[in-house]
Amino acid sequence: MKFKLIVLFVFSTLFASAEGITFFEGTWEEALAKANEEEKLIFVDAYAKWCGPCKKMAATTFKDGAVGDYFDAHFISMKIDMEESMGRTFGQSYSVSAYPTLFFIKPDGEIAKKSVGFKDVTKLMDIAKVASGNADFSAKYKAQYDDGARDFSTVLNYVKSLNKANKPSLKIANDFLNSNHAMSKDQMTEFLFEAVTEADSRIFDLCLDAKSSIVGKYGEDAFNEKLIKVARKTTEKAIENEYPSLIEEAVAKLKTYDKSLSEEYRLWSFLHYNSSYKDWDGVMKHYKSFKKKYTKGDEEANMNLVSLFAKHFPEKDEAKNLVVTNFKDALDINPTEKGYISLVQLLVKYGKKEEAVEVANAGKKKLEAKSISTAQLEGYINFLSNTIK
């Protein structure tokens, strides 16, 4: 499944990879230089070896696959032991009164965001996204642009920095293209690839026209990922403005490139659009086709549907049934003790204790067959069995 539903992290991280955050092991000065070069914030876990919450975050939150993917893409991450030499030096500039203290620091040393205490996956991701929103490197390019610089490098970097900061860049990009500035074919390819942000734009049309050169430079996977990202932005825009025609326009454009991708995007978009407006009939109009075509053998796709229904229709019985169904399908693909415990807890919340026990027992057998520990799950089985009696 190429399109991932825009949902909460409530369930989706249950099945993420276990690699987690990649921590930079150089000096603080090297981290600052790297952050400046890559135009990223530095994430610092200021910890102490004896700190219990620090150990827990290191063993759980930092090892989460979704956290790792996001942090590796957006930050230079460091772990600094505050009782060692580097930590004592760091502490002279950055106050730490409790552990862990989490910093998001700009390349110039300014703190973009600071938080104290243990954070689970959801809380850390929320903080990280706020910090990312504060990571704006466009000012220096804006100053050059305002001073009259219109060379390819300046405009390209300005557009890229605006996009990275989630600021509007379309006018800058269109003005540059309309100026008929002399560009080589390779420069035009790079500019279009970096400048495209919305499917309902001329630049998106130009990207589709330049498919062969973009694929030749970046590869087909990167091109498809860019189209997906841009199409998602158009879906968000359609939802924000309550204007579904934007989705239909994007579907028509994608169809000229890839009919399969276009159909997946259509179903994905209207599932999300109708869910956002609590239109259950509209959701059901697209759910069955989406489920049949794009979730088979894909645990993440099933869990995304779980999150979608749980978020937008928390009190609707039909939605609760679909939450459970898709959760079970995901666990059939990739059984984990953590996943079964979450489903059992959900069933109890829904008032379905008997089904919770059945699911727990079935999960125990499946996990044991794969030599996976079931100690915690057994505790839930015993507790629930006793409450039912």
DSSP 201: S
DSSP 270: H
Averaged pLDDT, 99-120: 95
Q: Tens digit of pLDDT for each residue in 191-225?
A: 999 999 999 999 999 999 999 999 999 999 999 99
What is the longest distance spanned by two Cα atoms in the chain? 79
For 75, the token pair is 């930050």
Is the confidence at residue 3, as pLDDT, over 80?
Answer: no
**CATH number assigned to the domain comprising residue 96:** 3.40.30.10
Cβ neighbours around 358 below 10 Å, total:
13
Q: Are residues 113 and 209 in the same domain?
A: no
Q: What is the pLDDT of residue 330?
A: 94
Give catalytic residue positions: 51, 54
Is residue 364 included in any domain, yes or no? no
Amino acid at 136: D
For 199, the token pair is 């499917």
| 155-164 contacts, C-beta under 8 A, 24 or more apart | 155/181, 155/191, 156/190, 156/191, 156/194, 159/191, 159/194, 159/195, 160/194, 161/39, 161/136, 161/137, 162/138, 163/194, 163/195, 163/197, 164/39, 164/135, 164/137, 164/138
Q: Residue 329: CB partners within 8 Å, gap ≥ 6?
A: 295, 302
Q: Are residues 100 and 20 in the same domain?
A: yes
For tokens 């002399």, what's the residue? Answer: 182
Q: Are residues 54 and 125 in the same domain?
A: yes
Alpha-carbon distance of 269 to 238, in angstroms, equals: 9
Alpha-carbon distance of 165 to 169, in angstroms, equals: 10
Q: What is the pLDDT of residue 2?
A: 65
Is residue 314 included in any domain, yes or no? no
Is residue 127 included in any domain, yes or no? yes
| Domain housing 247 | 183-294
For 332, the token pair is 């059939």
Is residue 378 included in any domain, yes or no? no
Averaged pLDDT, 51-63: 94
Q: Are residues 126 and 238 in the same domain?
A: no
**Pick from 273, 294, 315: which residue ends a domain?**
294
Confidence tier at 8 by pLDDT (50, 70, 90): very low
Q: Are residues 127 and 18 in the same domain?
A: yes
Alpha-carbon distance of 284 to 223, in angstroms, equals: 31
Is the confidence at residue 287, as pLDDT, over 60?
Answer: yes
Instruction: Report CA dihedral (129, 53, 304, 272) to the nearest 10 degrees.
Output: -30
For tokens 């130009």, what's the residue? Answer: 206
Q: What is the pLDDT of residue 9?
A: 42
**Pick from 294, 328, 349: which residue ends a domain?**
294
Is residue 229 included in any domain, yes or no? yes
Q: Are residues 31 and 125 in the same domain?
A: yes
The helix or strand, by DSSP H or E, that contains position 199, with its residue range, turns out to be none
Is residue 155 included in any domain, yes or no? no
Tally of domains within the chain: 2
Is residue 178 included in any domain, yes or no? no
Considering only residues 204 and 6, tell me which one the structure prediction assigns the higher pLDDT: 204
Alpha-carbon distance of 205 to 100, in angstroms, equals: 48
Q: Are residues 109 and 206 in the same domain?
A: no
Please state whether the peptide bond connecting residue 100 to the residue before it is cis, i.e. omega within 30 degrees of 0. Answer: yes
Q: Are residues 129 and 188 in the same domain?
A: no
- In angstroms, how far is the first alpha carbon of the chain from the final one? 43
Q: Tens digit of pLDDT for each residue in 317-356?
A: 999 999 999 999 999 999 999 899 999 999 999 999 999 9
**Pick from 255, 275, 294: which residue ends a domain?**
294
Is the confidence at residue 15, as pLDDT, over 70?
Answer: no
Q: Tens digit of pLDDT for each residue in 133-186?
A: 777 888 889 999 999 999 999 999 999 999 988 889 999 999 999 999 999 999
Is residue 107 included in any domain, yes or no? yes
- State pTM to two decimals: 0.75
